[in-house]
Amino acid sequence: MVLEIHTEIRETGPDRYATLIDGGWAIGSSLNGGYLQLPVVRAVLAAEGHPHPVAVTTDFLTAPHAGEAEIVVERLRTGKTVGTSRATLIQDGQPVLVSSVVTSTLDSSNPDVDLAPPIELPSPDQCTRIRSDVMPGTQLGLMDHVDVRLAPEFANLLRGRPDGSMALRGWARMVDGRDPDPLVCLLAADAFPPVTFTIGRYGWAPTVQLTTYLRVLPAPGWLRAELRGRVLASGWFDEDCTIRDSAGRLVAQSRQIARIPRVPVPTEN
Amino acid sequence: MVLEIHTEIRETGPDRYATLIDGGWAIGSSLNGGYLQLPVVRAVLAAEGHPHPVAVTTDFLTAPHAGEAEIVVERLRTGKTVGTSRATLIQDGQPVLVSSVVTSTLDSSNPDVDLAPPIELPSPDQCTRIRSDVMPGTQLGLMDHVDVRLAPEFANLLRGRPDGSMALRGWARMVDGRDPDPLVCLLAADAFPPVTFTIGRYGWAPTVQLTTYLRVLPAPGWLRAELRGRVLASGWFDEDCTIRDSAGRLVAQSRQIARIPRVPVPTEN
């Protein structure tokens, strides 16, 4: 399986790459964190030689803007089976984000053990697609690239009716119909609304640190996702995302810590 | 609440510190990852000024040895509320581990929301302490520093009787009786046996990347922990650890990805 190209990178020197940040992959004016990781992980794979990301942790430092950016890769461990690199996305001379990327080779076979619960969902046709114009006054450009569909009971969120569950379930795939790969999984893990929507906090939830593990190569077709937040404390909330492929295999797990949105603005009541 | 000193650091220059790695904090000949993070996080707190770690992700690169080591802190974001730094532990000129540390101020009040299940355990007296000499031929020096007690149904593990659950529950506190703080939580999150013991793989499970979120300041007394692994795939397993304090409040959550132990050596049958 070949990794699809989602975001071009161009080598400019040893372990240095140039990329172009596309302003379309945004929620309102904020570029999506899942998207921003893709050129960075691609740069690490190009620099290192292992075929797949296994663990990616990103610290988001400052908001980038559309346009040119540079990626600097530092190879920290170059083992035969496992590599570890750090990569920094730089714009206007400032670090925008820093990722720790563990690389190795993912199997395309089934996991040897899978004790996570299944993700039960009605078919994509019976779910509610999040369209880029669903929130008045806020353009969700990301949703023109990723087709995200929420289970029917969660569609109430889009009408400002929180259920307090801190949980969301839904489908994701690329709008162009392309089959998923580990980079699409990285993207899908950060493409859903924050679970704080379910407790009536509809504001922007700035992710500070995001970790995604990639477990096996995904089968073609839709990805199904379950998001779950557990604790709000000290101004922060956590959010886990579990992703299964069309064959039901667990392909990715993510966890992030983010600031609790300050602005609880329901769109209707 | 003052952060206790677990491992001394000494400033040697701007954002540079010296520390001494104590060979006693080991499982066999391998120094414990939780312990190794402590001087690194202390160096970040000293360099930055925010009082507490909120998220710590560590990439373990190579095995350190007892003796002198250097810590270099790079401050990536120095906000009023949130800081982010990277710190590298260096020995013999080589990076041993690299940590991304998000810092801020933790509340001592209860979490605003806590949807994680409670951790049910019999009292510490009714649980089985893991003593440093429990495994023939392998000295568990870490257990002379941390008092780790497994729930009775899991004590079978120590006799080589796996139950297949990928789950462990137990208590932890410092042997010297000192009350927990965020650094003790960081330590406790990596002080239990790997969940792969429950599927009969008793070998060393090398952690490659470990992330711990600290949520509120812990109350005095024992910490209770629940560990859960979900997937073995492509040569890797994941392990979550949830830690509650003596008041039942969720104080820390960790997740790690590690290589599956190669040597399934039950000590008895």
Complex ipTM, two decimals? 0.94
Give A132 to chain B, closest Cα distance, Å.
30
- Cα(B82)–Cα(B106) distance, integer angstroms: 11
Using the beta-carbon criterion (under 8 Å), do A231 and B253 form an inter-chain contact? yes
Q: Tell me which chain A residue has its CA closest to the CA of residue B90.
A: A76
- Rounded to 5°, the CA angle B57-A184-A68 comes to 80
Using the beta-carbon criterion (under 8 Å), do A232 and B113 form an inter-chain contact? yes
- Exposure of B13 by Cβ count < 10 A (0-12 exposed, 13-18 middle, 19+ buried)? exposed
- Cα(A85)–Cα(A67) distance, integer angstroms: 25
Cβ neighbors of A82 (< 8 A, separation 6 or more) are A50, A54, A102, A103, A104, B208, B259
CA A219 from centroid of its chain's CA atoms: 18
pLDDT tens digits, one per residue of B194-216 = 999 899 888 888 999 999 999 99
N-term to C-term CA, chain A:
47
* Domain A1-105 and domain A146-269 have a common topology: yes
As given in the structure block, the two tokens for residue B88 are 């590298």
Q: Tell me which chain B residue has its CA closest to the CA of residue A199.
A: B113
List the single residue in A61, A215, A259 with the smallest CB-CB distance to B84. A61
Using the beta-carbon criterion (under 8 Å), do A236 and B54 form an inter-chain contact? yes
- Cα(A7)–Cα(A19) distance, integer angstroms: 8
List the single residue in A107, A208, A253 with the smallest CB-CB distance to B238. A253
pLDDT tens digits, one per residue of B74-125 = 999 999 999 999 999 999 999 999 999 999 999 999 999 999 999 999 999 9
Residue B153: closest CA among B140, B143, B142, B165 = B165
Residue B257: closest CA among B11, B67, B100, B60 = B60
Using the beta-carbon criterion (under 8 Å), do B114 and A231 form an inter-chain contact? yes
Give A260 to chain B, closest Cα distance, Å.
11
- Rounded to 5°, the CA angle B228-B28-B19 comes to 95
Using the beta-carbon criterion (under 8 Å), do A112 and B215 form an inter-chain contact? no
Phi/psi-derived region of residue A49, left when phi > 0, alpha when psi is between -120 and 50, beta in every other case? left
Q: Which string of b and e fits A138-152 if b means at least 16 CB within 10 Å? A: bbbbbbebbbbbbbe
Tell me the CATH class for A1-105.
mainly beta
* Residue ranges per structural domain of chain A: 1-105, 146-269
List the single residue in B61, B110, B236 with the smallest CB-CB distance to A54. B236
Contacts of B230 in chain A (CB under 8 A): 114-116, 250, 253
Average pLDDT over residues B44-48: 96
Rg of chain B's alpha carbons, rounded to an integer?
18
Most confident of A132-146, A202-216, B150-164, B220-234: B220-234
Residue B18: closest CA among B69, B66, B64 = B69
Which residue is it, tokens 């399934």? B264
Query: Are residues B73 and B50 in contact, defined by beta-carbon separation less than 8 angstroms?
Result: no
Using the beta-carbon criterion (under 8 Å), do A231 and B259 form an inter-chain contact? no
List the single residue in A102, A105, A233 with the smallest CB-CB distance to B59. A102
Residue A263 has a pLDDT of: 58
Give B88 to chain A, closest Cα distance, Å.
11
Sign (positive or negative) of CA dihedral A126, A127, A129, A135:
positive
For testing contact with chain A, the best of B90, B209, B244 (most A CBs within 10 A): B209
As given in the structure block, the two tokens for residue B139 are 């000295």
What is the interface size between A and B, counted as CB pairs within 8 Å? 171
- Cα(A27)–Cα(A200) distance, integer angstroms: 18
Phi first, then psi: give them for residue B175, nearest 5 degrees.
-60, -35
Give B220 to chain A, closest Cα distance, Å.
19
Query: Are residues B74 and B18 in contact, defined by beta-carbon separation less than 8 angstroms?
Result: no
Using the beta-carbon criterion (under 8 Å), do B107 and A59 form an inter-chain contact? no
- Cα(B241)–Cα(B253) distance, integer angstroms: 6
pLDDT per residue, tens digit, chain A (269 aa), is 333 445 789 999 999 999 999 999 999 999 999 999 999 999 999 999 899 999 999 999 999 999 999 999 999 999 999 999 999 999 999 999 999 999 999 999 999 999 999 999 999 999 999 999 988 888 999 999 999 999 987 777 767 788 899 999 999 999 998 999 999 999 999 999 999 989 988 888 899 999 999 999 999 999 999 999 999 999 999 999 999 999 999 999 999 999 998 755 444 43
Give A209 to chain B, closest Cα distance, Å.
7
Architecture of A146-269 per CATH?
Answer: Beta Barrel (2.40)
3-state helix, strand, coil in chain A (%, to 5): 15, 40, 40
Contacts of A236 in chain B (CB under 8 A): 54, 104, 213, 215
Task: Tell whether domain B9-106+124-259 is in CATH 2.40.160.210.
Answer: yes
List, in sequence order, every residue forming a beta bridge with A28; answer none if it has no partner: none
DSSP notation for A76-99: EEE-SS-EEEEEEEEETTEEEEEE
